[in-house]
Amino acid sequence: MSLSRRRFLQMMGASAAATAMTPTVLTRVAEAVQASGAWYPVVWLQGQSDTGCSESLLNTLAPNVVDLVTEIVDLKFHQTVMAAQGHLAISVLDDLLASEEKFLLVVEGAVPTAHGGAYSTMGERDGKKVTFLQWVQDLGARAEAVVAFGTCSAFGGIPAAEGNVTGASPVTDVLPEQKVIRLPSCPGRPHHLVGTLAHLKLYGMPELDELRRPKMFFSLTNHDNCERRPFFERGDYAHHFGEHKCMYLLGCKGPITHNDCSQHQWNSRVNWPVRGGSPCVGCAHPLFGGPRGNALYEQLPEIQVPGFAGLEAKADKAAIVLAGAAAAGIAAHAVGRAVTKNKKES
């Protein structure tokens, strides 16, 4: 069954929240993938992470994990779920590298680069441990495309927070950037991965933004479609957790965080952080964790806030701890633009 790219993007995209990633949509995508013929196998490597991205993917209901690995993705290697162990498991990768077979590489977790990558190793070659860094570089060089799944892999995330003795780095630091697609979120979002792999299969490289994120998932911020947006526009803000109002003053990063949580939600559309009473802490933002830090519940700096006198409320003290004024300016500008744009549209 063929599926036009236009329809595919409608189903995946933020504009189709009502239909996105339901079992019906997934069935349609799976049929289109199967009908399009041979599918590149997927190699999944996990580095410096808490396995949250794997769990996020494996816990998903739409698609469920069986459909995922049998009908949508040909999963050739995955440290956590594969039955093979030891040399038998590693031989899958060695054989792949020795062959001409095409494949896609998914990387979960940051890449430890300090001390030659010694902080994470997997298997041996000629009696020597092989670092995760080496695997990413070897397999990444051969892969048709590389998907950095989750914020640690995409931007460094929490492993790259200040201190970072392992030299935790995003995949783009150790591979030619043009191959890498970033899918940030902590953890990574299942429909982002399935949608990206399906797009690669059906139509080739998806359209990416300036940070190499697929536009079909990352064009809007969580603030753009937040269910508490009417409170924001009225200047009606929560001052304490538990108040059912806009959580901007409680540090919500929704205005600068490009993601589709406010539309597609989580756990098969059951809930998302704001509905659960938490500000968006910006887990998909490049500054989440990271060397410059990102204070979870501190207010964003320099944002126009409706309902406040002068409409130019400056955050008391810079909320996100940024490296310098330039970075603060970028963040503030991004927020200001989003707010200004939305005010014009409303």
- Is 284 one of the binding residues for ligand F3S (CB under 6 A)? yes
Site for ligand F3S, residues 170 to 189, rule: CB under 6 A: 185
For every residue of 248-278, DSSP letters joined together read GGGT--GGG-B-SHHHH-BTTTTB-TTTTT-
Binding site for ligand SF4 (CB under 6 A): 222-223, 226, 228-229, 232, 246-248, 252, 254-255, 274, 279-280
Rounded CA separation 51/145 (Å): 22
Q: Least distance in Å: CB of 229 to ligand F3S?
A: 13
Contacted by 294, from ligand F3S, ligand SF4, none: CB < 5 to 8 Å by type = none
- Is 281 one of the binding residues for ligand F3S (CB under 6 A)? yes
Rounded CA separation 148/159 (Å): 15
- Is 222 one of the binding residues for ligand F3S (CB under 6 A)? yes
**Strand, coil or helix: 288:** coil
- Is 287 one of the binding residues for ligand F3S (CB under 6 A)? no
Start-to-end CA distance of the chain, whole Å, equals 41
Q: Least distance in Å: CB of 305 to ligand SF4?
A: 9
Residues 6+ apart with CB under 8 A from 96: 43, 76, 77, 103, 139, 142
Nearer to ligand F3S, 179 or 258 (CB): 258
- Is 56 one of the binding residues for ligand F3S (CB under 6 A)? no
Residues 6+ apart with CB under 8 A from 161: 289, 290, 291, 293
- Is 283 one of the binding residues for ligand F3S (CB under 6 A)? yes
Nearer to ligand SF4, 90 or 247 (CB): 247
Identify residue 157 by its one-letter amino acid code: G
Nearer to ligand SF4, 192 or 228 (CB): 228
Rounded CA separation 136/120 (Å): 12
- Is 273 one of the binding residues for ligand F3S (CB under 6 A)? yes
Q: Least distance in Å: CB of 286 to ligand F3S?
A: 12
Nearer to ligand F3S, 103 or 217 (CB): 217
**Strand, coil or helix: 166:** coil
- Is 272 one of the binding residues for ligand F3S (CB under 6 A)? yes
Stretch of 118-126, 161-169, 209-217, 253-261 lying at the interface with ligand F3S (CB under 6 A)? 253-261
Return the residue nearest ligand SF4 (CB atom).
Answer: 254
Identify residue 288 by its one-letter amino acid code: F
DSSP H stretches of helix in 2-148: 5-12, 23-35, 52-58, 65-67, 86-98, 132-142
Q: Interface with ligand F3S by CB under 6 A: which residues?
A: 185, 222, 257, 259, 261, 272-273, 280-284
